[in-house]
């Protein structure tokens, strides 16, 4: 398996080099040159596997044996040892049409742990093999940063700097990141929003001199490893559904922001997992909803919502989708991305839109609806949704057909977003790991949204 860039200007790479490259050196995103196809017979065999066995089967199709089986297995075992549920991502049946895939049983209580615990092991493994220190740079709207820091804590040969938007993450998210006082961790709290943070890190990755000088590595979903690790739970969840003699269509509803999680679903679908519709769930930052409904991909005004991790306008992984939508024509992707930079929008015509809608539907929940659904599911099903998960449920309610099954993703634990839960007059018991955070001291540098200042801090940290 070789990996190429969506913009076509990078020499084909192997698996490890692709992960190390992160953002493609031509400014695009790395993707597999071909997507392996899984036959229905293999799917049937895979349906009997445990989560970790399934992970190894899927990765075997992508890693070119660059990591010996034994080493990969060890990494997987270590990655999931800290998960609080033996199934790693258990599925909870609400009723005959709705299943909730719980992705929050990892150490930082959000779906990011599933890929980032493995990524921490991977970087530690590579750093040891190459005897080279790895400098991680990431941007977060709250969850990626916490999970990435947790994933590399205590690991030698790694330094990590995370940019988060100042006062725009939940209190628990902030504490999860900033109460870590390890010398190899730097938290920059940037006076701006997530899009500002993401733009700064992408600029630094695109500066190839800076990237190479500091051995800069990515933990965001610009990194293909994140995408691949997230495909595993699509397969796993699909296999947990109870189907009768007449199997029903299965939709998957995914709370979305950077389009990384749902792109993993798109990849799983392309590999042969029979997903009917991928339901894109957004909050009031609804660029993806507007795109699927109207064909116009255009960032709107930033809004702070009850689901802050999805307060994102520019969806990083949209470019990966564009590549497949344009029949893998990298020149067209480059031209469109250039036009996007110049005009600030991408417009699909009516014919294109029909093709988009063959795979996706989309729904954006209002703040009010998000809270209503948290109360409704608590009252009717005794299930406490976090506000991101509630957006997924809103989209399920809007789109799931009567004779269809939906797996709706629970991307975070409600304790991370008590600000919203309290507004529903619900009192929740915090898990001990979260309760303990409140008595710890915080370490972060609040900084203006000014690239030069941020780069200066970064260099000082990496060179220390």
Ligand X SMILES: Cc1ncc(COP(=O)(O)O)c(C=O)c1O
Contact positions toward ligand LJ64HWYM, by CB under 6 A?
140-145, 220-221, 257-258, 260, 309, 316
Residue 190 C-beta: closest distance to ligand LJ64HWYM, Å: 13
- Cβ proximity of 177 and 146 under 8 Å: yes
In the bound complex, what is the minimum distance in angstroms from residue 293's beta carbon to ligand X?
18
Q: Active site includes 112?
A: yes
Q: Choose the binding region for ligand X from 24-32, 253-261, 289-297, 428-436 (rule: CB under 6 A).
A: 253-261
Q: Tell me if 110 contacts ligand X by CB under 6 A.
A: yes
Task: Provide the pairing of β-strand 98-102 with 91-95.
Answer: antiparallel
Of 38 and 412, nearer to ligand LJ64HWYM (C-beta) is 412
> Beta strands of 314-377 (E only): which ranges?
346-347, 360-364
Nearer to ligand LJ64HWYM, 141 or 189 (CB): 141
Instruction: Note whether 407 binds ligand X by CB under 6 A.
Output: no
Interaction between residue 116 and ligand X (CB under 6 A): no
Given 52, 73, 78, 112, the catalytic residue: 112
Helix (H) or strand (E) run with residue 252 in it: strand 249-255
Give min distance, CB of 392 to ligand X, in A.
8
Place of tokens 């005794």: 382
Backbone CA torsion sign across 424, 425, 431, 435: positive
Residue of 22, 28, 192, 255 interacting with ligand X (CB under 6 A): 255
CA dist 322 and 316 (Å) reads 11
Tokens linked to 19: 């992960």
Site string for ligand X, 211-250 (x = CB under 6 A): ----------x-----------------------------
Q: Does 198 participate in binding ligand X (rule CB under 6 A)?
A: no
Cα dihedral sign for 323, 327, 329, 333? Answer: negative
x/- map, 291-320, ligand X, by CB under 6 A: ------------------xx----------
Show the site string, 128-167: x = touches ligand X by CB under 6 A, - = not. Answer: -------------x-x------------------------
Q: Which residue, 22 or 32, has its beta carbon nearer to ligand LJ64HWYM? A: 22
Q: Are 273 and 356 in contact (CB under 8 A)?
A: no
Q: What is the 3-state secondary structure (H, E, C) of 413-455?
A: CHHHHHHHHHHCCCCCCCCHHHHHHHHCCCCCEEEECCHHHHH
Neighbour-count burial of 241, counting CB atoms closer than 10 A to its CB (0-12 exposed, 13-18 middle, 19+ buried): middle
Tell me which stretch binds ligand X (CB under 6 A): 232-240, 260-268, 326-334, 354-362: 260-268
d(CA 63, CA 16): 8
Is 262 or 330 the residue whose CB approaches ligand X more closely? Answer: 262
**Minimum CB distance to ligand LJ64HWYM, residue 101 (Å):** 17
- State the Cα–Cα distance between residues 30 and 191, nearest whole angstrom: 30
Cβ proximity of 235 and 46 under 8 Å: yes
The rounded distance, in Å, linking the Cα atoms of 282 and 292 is 12
| Binding partner at 140 among ligand LJ64HWYM, ligand X, none, C-beta below 5 to 8 Å by kind | ligand LJ64HWYM
User: Catalytic residues, which ones?
Assistant: 112
> Would you tell me which residues interact with ligand X (CB under 6 A)?
110, 141, 143, 221, 255-262, 309-310, 388, 411-412
């Amino acid at each position: 398996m070789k990996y190429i860039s969506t913009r076509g200007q990078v020499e084909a790479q192997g698996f490890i080099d692709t992960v190390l490259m992160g953002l493609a050196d031509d400014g695009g995103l790395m993707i597999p040159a071909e997507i392996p196809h899984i036959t229905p017979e293999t799917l049937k065999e895979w349906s009997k596997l445990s989560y970790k066995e399934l992970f190894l089967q899927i990765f075997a199709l992508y890693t070119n044996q660059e990591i010996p089986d034994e080493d990969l297995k060890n990494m997987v075992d270590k990655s999931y040892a800290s998960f609080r549920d033996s199934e790693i991502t258990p599925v909870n049946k609400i009723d005959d049409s709705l299943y909730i895939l719980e992705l929050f049983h990892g150490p930082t209580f959000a779906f990011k742990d599933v890929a980032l615990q493995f990524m921490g092991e991977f970087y530690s493994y590579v750093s040891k093999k190459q005897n080279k220190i790895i400098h991680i740079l990431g941007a977060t709207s709250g969850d990626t940063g916490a999970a990435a820091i947790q994933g590399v804590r205590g690991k030698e040969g790694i330094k990590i700097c995370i940019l988060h938007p100042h006062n725009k993450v939940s209190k628990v998210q902030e504490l999860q990141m900033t109460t870590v006082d390890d010398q190899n961790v730097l938290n920059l709290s940037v006076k701006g929003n997530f899009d500002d943070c993401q733009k700064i890190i992408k600029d630094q990755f695109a500066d190839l001199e800076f990237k190479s000088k500091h051995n800069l590595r990515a933990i965001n979903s610009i990194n293909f490893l994140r995408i691949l690790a997230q495909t595993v739970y699509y397969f796993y969840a699909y296999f947990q559904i109870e189907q009768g003699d007449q199997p029903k269509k299965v939709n998957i509803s995914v709370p979305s922001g950077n389009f990384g999680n749902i792109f993993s679903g798109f990849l799983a679908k392309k590999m042969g997992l029979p997903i009917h519709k991928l339901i894109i769930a957004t909050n009031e930052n609804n660029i993806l909803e507007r795109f699927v409904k109207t064909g116009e991909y255009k960032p709107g005004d930033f809004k702070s919502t009850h689901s802050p991790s999805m307060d994102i306008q520019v969806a990083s992984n949209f470019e990966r989708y564009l590549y497949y939508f344009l029949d893998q024509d990298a020149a067209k992707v480059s031209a469109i991305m250039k036009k996007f930079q110049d005009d600030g929008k991408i417009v699909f015509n009516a014919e294109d839109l029909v093709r988009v809608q063959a795979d996706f539907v989309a729904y954006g929940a209002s703040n009010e609806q998000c809270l209503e659904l948290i109360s409704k599911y608590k009252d009717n099903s005794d299930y406490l949704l976090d506000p991101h998960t509630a957006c997924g449920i809103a989209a399920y309610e809007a789109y799931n057909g009567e004779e269809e099954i939906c797996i709706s993703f629970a991307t975070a634990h409600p304790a991370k977003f008590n600000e919203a839960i309290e507004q529903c007059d619900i009192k929740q018991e915090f898990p001990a790991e979260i309760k303990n955070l409140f008595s710890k001291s915080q370490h972060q540098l609040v900084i203006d949204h000014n690239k030069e200042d941020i780069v200066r801090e970064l260099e000082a940290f990496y060179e220390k």
